[in-house]
A and B are shown apart, each in its own frame.
Chain A
Amino acid sequence: GAGVSQSPRYKVAKRGQDVALRCDPISGHVSLFWYQQALGQGPEFLTYFQNEAQLDKSGLPSDRFFAERPEGSVSTLKIQRTQQEDSAVYLCASSMGRNTEAFFGQGTRLTVV
C-alpha cells in the first residue's frame, strides 16, 4: 500500500478484555516500530522489529503487552487483561532500514472503560 495502515482506528475495551491491534507497514520496509502516545505527550517507544525478528522490546510496559511479526510484514500488538492506564493511541511506524526515515500510520485509539 501507499502508506502504513493500522486497524482498527478506534477500539473500546472493557477492563480485563484482551485486544489485538494490527499494522500493515509500507511494502518492502524492513523495520517496524510500535509507539504509545498518551494524551498531550509525544510518542513513546514500545518495541522494534527487523523483518520477523523482535530486536528490542525494552519499551513494553508490562508482560501484558506482546507483539509479533511472524512473516516480516504485518505486525500485531496484543494487550492482555487491559487496564485503564492502557488507554492511549498506539502508533506503528515502518522504515526501509537502518537510520532511514520512519513513516507513521494513523494510529489506533484505545479506550479502556
Chain B
Amino acid sequence: QKEVEQDPGPLSVPEGAIVSLNCTYSNSAFQYFMWYRQYSRKGPELLMYTYSSGNKEDGRFTAQVDKSSKYISLFIRDSQPSDSATYLCAMSGNQAGTALIFGKGTTLSVSS
C-alpha cells in the first residue's frame, strides 16, 4: 500500500458542478497537507496549504483535512472549463526539509 492513495480518475463533470477530490494516507506523522493543480506539460501549481485538521476556503476552493480518518478533500464550487487539469494531493511531516509525498493525481475534465 502506498503512503498516499488518490483515485486517478478521469473525472468528467459539466460546467457549474461541484467537484470533490479526495486522498487517503497511512502515515499518522503527516502534518502539512497541500493540493496542487497541474496543467498538461506544466509544473504543479500550489492551490491550498493547510496544517493539521480543519477546513480552509479560498474563493471557489475548499480544503478539508480529517486526521482521525487520514482523509483529505478538495472541493471546487461552480467548476469552470479552465479547472480542467490534474489535481495532486501532497503531504509532509513535521521535520525540517521533509519531502512532500504526492498522490498519483486525479485528472478532471469540466465540459462547457
Contacts and interface: CB of A to CB of B under 8 A. Distances in A.
Contact of B46 (A6, A35, A102, A105): A102
Contact of B43 (A50, A56, A106): A106
A40 interface: yes
Contacts of A1: none
Contacts of A48: 97, 99
B42 A106 contact: yes
Interface in B33-84: 34, 36, 41-46, 49
B99 A45 contact: yes
A18 B16 CA distance: 49
A48 B93 CA distance: 14
Interface residues of B, number: 28
Interface residues of A, number: 29
Contacts of B102: 42-44
B97 A45 contact: no
A99 B92 contact: yes
Contacts of B94: 99
A6 B98 CA distance: 22
Given A45-B100, A48-B97, A50-B97, A101 B49 contact: yes
Interface of B: 4, 6, 8, 31-32, 34, 36, 41-46, 49, 88, 90, 92, 94, 96-105
Interface in A78-107: 91, 93, 97-99, 101-107
Interface of A: 4, 6, 31, 33, 35, 40-45, 48, 50, 55-56, 59, 91, 93, 97-99, 101-107, 109
A48 B102 CA distance: 16
B4 to A, nearest CB: 8
